[in-house]
């Protein structure tokens, strides 16, 4: 091989090494050295392998997907922590399926072993990613942009031109320009003593917030996980149905249902109470949205503390009452027929409003039961009565649906009842659902014609029970509202984490990390040759445009020099479309085939994988 060829090959090798150093990884991803021999997988090797897999981007995404997927059964299947009665009803209707669900902990999804395992693994995976990545990012912030490689023309975007300005002036102007564009620059490398040789250069870098956005996104996920865990461990949530005129005190015995985290102390319940003075509801009467709720408002008077003064306010949907650390939400509405029952002796056995639960939203057809425990028949024998009923705010009936409501407001209210007598089972000491009637030890009343007794009553109407068993009067209709009182200690942190995660993700997606180099040297003919090149973390059509704008702006201080002979600055014949003069905007669109091999690896993520 000729000596000249060998020298040229060595020069190309050195230039390639310099380009590889300049175009090194721009992310904080740890380098993977494929040349390192992998040790035999003993216990330590398997532990390292497991840790690498757990902290990889692939596994983190899989765990995040599994966590979202695991939360789906919690939304579709009734949960013990949210509605014990719904779980009990599901088990009664689906015996075999309920046993399978019970074994899989599907009635307690968020406290199940498998959900907790996914949750903890995701938490550890994020921690294992963020800690080393943060230190690497801090190191990058403290480091300087790398020096310009020997061959800037090998970069994806590059341009060059000749100018009569001195090299020092060009470099000084370039540094001022790049700083003005918010690039971080390194100290200028001065040109040689006579301005010839490799020349001086300016290195600049921009887009560090991209990696900061990645870190903020990952840290925000951890904050959200911690907030979710705190909310599950220290939260409390209770429900209460209140009829107009009745009140509530925030004590455990006043709740219809109450759930709390394993670390919550009921002594931490805020001291307050409130009375439902009046409830207002309006519905759309015409058009395709007929029957849709328009307003729900509960006017309440509340007090805080044992001796707090009474205050008045309104609770609306998505506008809760805030007292201390507790929030009181309006979650439901319905009707409570007020009935009076007299026994066989003519004495009043029961009187009061009975909440009926809506079974559908468009008409508010509601079902409920009336249980009369203090009752004596016409012979003076102690017995119990039970009534199963349907309440329709606007009564309608057809062969397919039977009695039902055609509109949710009280346009034509009707109370339809069946009557039973016997043993309600309330004296057995077992908990019962107040909205269900156990008729196993009861017998239904029959009318004089032998058919089963049934009565349809309007407000103010009464009906006599068969065999002189007494009377039932439908006095009027009250409204009820259901409230949810909750304490969520991690709610604010979760919101802050979600907001920061969105902002961090936006930054990591839209901010581009790139480097720019400017070199100025004196050519053989005494004219200064200016070279500019740019390198991004990933290919982008905006990089050549940005480099062209920078070159155009720099030419105000380094105007192109005339080149009457058309000679190349390096003494070679210019190729067609050569990059001289003000054609810099065109020349920045260099072919990516000239990119050094090292620059192709510039974009792995911090988890050691290509994103």
Higher pLDDT, 485 or 210: 485
- pLDDT beyond 50 at 390: yes
Provide CB contacts within 8 A for 204, sequence distance 6+. Answer: 145, 175, 178, 183, 184, 185, 186, 515, 516, 517, 518
> Average pLDDT for residues 142-154, to the nearest whole number?
83
CA distance 95 to 170: 84
What are the structural domains, with CATH classification, of the chain?
43-140 (no CATH), 145-206+512-601 (3.30.160.110), 218-329+485-501 (no CATH), 333-480 (no CATH)
**What value does the mean pLDDT of the chain take?**
82
| Selection from 49, 72, 73, 74 nearest residue 59 by Cα | 49
User: How deeply is 419 buried, as exposed, middle or buried, from its count of CB atoms within 10 A (0-12, 13-18, 19+)?
Assistant: buried
pTM: 0.64
C-beta atoms surrounding 534 within 10 Å: 25
| Selection from 136, 71, 138, 135 nearest residue 106 by Cα | 71
Instruction: List pLDDT tens digits, range 253-272.
Output: 999 888 888 888 888 899 99
Instruction: List pLDDT tens digits, range 59-102.
Output: 888 998 998 899 899 888 988 866 676 787 788 888 889 999 99
Query: Are residues 34 and 140 in contact, defined by beta-carbon separation less than 8 angstroms?
Result: no
pLDDT over 70 percentage in the chain: 82
- pLDDT beyond 60 at 414: yes
CA dihedral 293, 299, 305, 307 (to 10 degrees): -170
Higher pLDDT, 74 or 593: 74
* E strand residue ranges, 156-261: 157-163, 184-185, 200-206, 236-243, 247-249, 257-260
Q: Directed axis angle between helix 57-70 and helix 113-142, to 10°?
A: 140
- pLDDT beyond 50 at 224: yes
Give the pair of three-digit tokens for residue 493: 């942190």
Query: Are residues 15 and 148 in contact, defined by beta-carbon separation less than 8 angstroms?
Result: no
The predicted pLDDT at position 232 comes to 80
* E strand residue ranges, 207-264: 236-243, 247-249, 257-260
Alpha carbon of 429 to those of 537, 564, 571: distances in Å? Answer: 72, 109, 105
Residue that is written with structure tokens 């765990």 in the block: 63
- pLDDT beyond 70 at 586: no
The predicted pLDDT at position 570 comes to 46
Query: Are residues 517 and 201 in contact, defined by beta-carbon separation less than 8 angstroms?
Result: yes
> Average pLDDT for residues 241-248, to the nearest whole number?
95
Query: Are residues 60 and 607 in contact, defined by beta-carbon separation less than 8 angstroms?
Result: yes
Instruction: List pLDDT tens digits, range 428-446.
Output: 777 778 888 988 899 999 9
The predicted pLDDT at position 129 comes to 80
The predicted pLDDT at position 40 comes to 63
Which range in 103-112, 270-279, 493-502, 542-551 is most confidently predicted, on average pLDDT? 270-279
Query: Residue 151 — very low, low, confident or very high, per pLDDT cuts 50/70/90?
Result: confident
Query: Are residues 336 and 354 in contact, defined by beta-carbon separation less than 8 angstroms?
Result: yes
> Average pLDDT for residues 305-318, to the nearest whole number?
91
Lowest-confidence region among 226-230, 349-353, 526-530, 582-586: 582-586
CA distance 118 to 111: 12
> Average pLDDT for residues 570-597, to the nearest whole number?
39
Query: Residue 593 — very low, low, confident or very high, per pLDDT cuts 50/70/90?
Result: very low
- pLDDT beyond 70 at 324: yes
| Selection from 395, 405, 401 nearest residue 362 by Cα | 405
Give the pair of three-digit tokens for residue 468: 């002189």
Give the pair of three-digit tokens for residue 322: 């805030």
């Amino acid at each position: 091989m000729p000596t000249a060829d060998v020298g040229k090959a060595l020069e190309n090798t050195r230039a390639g090494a310099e380009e590889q150093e300049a175009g090194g990884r721009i992310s904080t991803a740890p380098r993977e050295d494929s040349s390192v021999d992998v040790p035999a997988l003993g216990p330590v090797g398997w532990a390292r392998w497991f840790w690498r897999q757990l902290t990889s981007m692939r596994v983190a995404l899989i765990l995040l997907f599994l966590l979202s997927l695991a939360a789906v059964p919690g939304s579709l299947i009734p949960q013990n922590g949210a509605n014990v009665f719904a779980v009990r009803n599901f088990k009664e209707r689906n015996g075999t399926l309920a046993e399978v669900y019970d074994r899989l902990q599907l009635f307690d999804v968020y406290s199940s072993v498998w959900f907790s395992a996914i949750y903890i693994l995701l938490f550890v995976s994020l921690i294992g990613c963020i800690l080393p990545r943060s230190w690497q990012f801090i190191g990058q912030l403290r480091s300087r942009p790398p020096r310009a490689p020997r061959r800037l023309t090998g970069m994806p975007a590059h341009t060059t031109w000749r100018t009569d300005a001195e090299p020092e002036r060009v470099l000084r102007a370039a540094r001022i320009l790049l700083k003005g564009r918010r690039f971080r620059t390194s100290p200028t490398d001065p040109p040689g003593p006579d301005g010839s040789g490799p020349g001086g250069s300016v290195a600049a870098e921009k887009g560090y917030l991209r990696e900061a956005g990645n870190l903020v996104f990952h840290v925000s996920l951890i904050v959200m996980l911690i907030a979710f865990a705190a909310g599950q461990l220290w939260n409390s949530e209770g429900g209460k149905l209140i009829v107009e005129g009745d009140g509530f005190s925030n004590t455990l015995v006043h709740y219809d249902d109450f759930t709390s985290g394993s670390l919550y102390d009921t002594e931490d319940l805020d001291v307050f109470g409130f009375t439902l003075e009046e409830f207002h509801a309006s519905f759309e009467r015409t058009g395709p949205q007929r029957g849709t709720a328009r307003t729900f408002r509960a006017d309440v008077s509340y007090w805080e503390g044992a001796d707090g003064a009474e205050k008045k306010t309104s609770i609306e949907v998505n506008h809760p009452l805030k007292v201390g650390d507790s929030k009181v939400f309006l979650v439901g509405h319905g009707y409570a027929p007020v009935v009076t029952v007299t026994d066989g002796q003519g004495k009043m056995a029961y009187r009061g409003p009975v909440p009926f639960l809506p079974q559908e939203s468009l008409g508010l057809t509601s079902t409920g039961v009336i249980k009369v425990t203090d009752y004596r028949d016409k012979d003076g024998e102690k017995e119990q009565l039970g009534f199963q009923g349907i309440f329709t705010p606007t009564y309608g009936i057809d062969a397919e649906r039977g009695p039902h409501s055609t509109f949710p407001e009280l346009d034509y209210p009707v109370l339809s009842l069946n009557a039973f007598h016997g043993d309600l089972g309330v004296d057995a000491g077992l908990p019962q659902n107040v909205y269900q009637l156990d008729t196993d030890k009861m017998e239904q009343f029959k009318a004089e014609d032998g058919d089963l007794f049934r009565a349809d009553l309007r407000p103010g109407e009464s009906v006599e029970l068969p065999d002189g068993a007494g009377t039932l009067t439908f006095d009027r209709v009250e409204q009820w509202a259901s409230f949810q009182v909750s304490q969520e200690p991690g709610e604010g942190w979760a919101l802050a984490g979600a907001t920061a995660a969105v902002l961090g993700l936006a930054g990591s997606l839209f901010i581009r990390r790139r480097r720019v180099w400017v070199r100025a040297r004196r050519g053989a003919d005494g004219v200064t040759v200016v070279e500019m090149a740019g390198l991004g973390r990933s290919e982008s059509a905006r990089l050549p445009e940005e480099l062209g704008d920078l070159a155009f702006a720099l030419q105000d201080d380094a105007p192109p020099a005339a080149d009457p002979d058309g000679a190349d600055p390096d003494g070679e014949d210019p190729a067609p479309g050569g990059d001289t003069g003000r054609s810099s905007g065109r020349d920045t669109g260099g072919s990516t085939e000239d990119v050094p091999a090292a620059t192709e690896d510039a974009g792995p993520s911090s988890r050691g994988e290509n994103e």
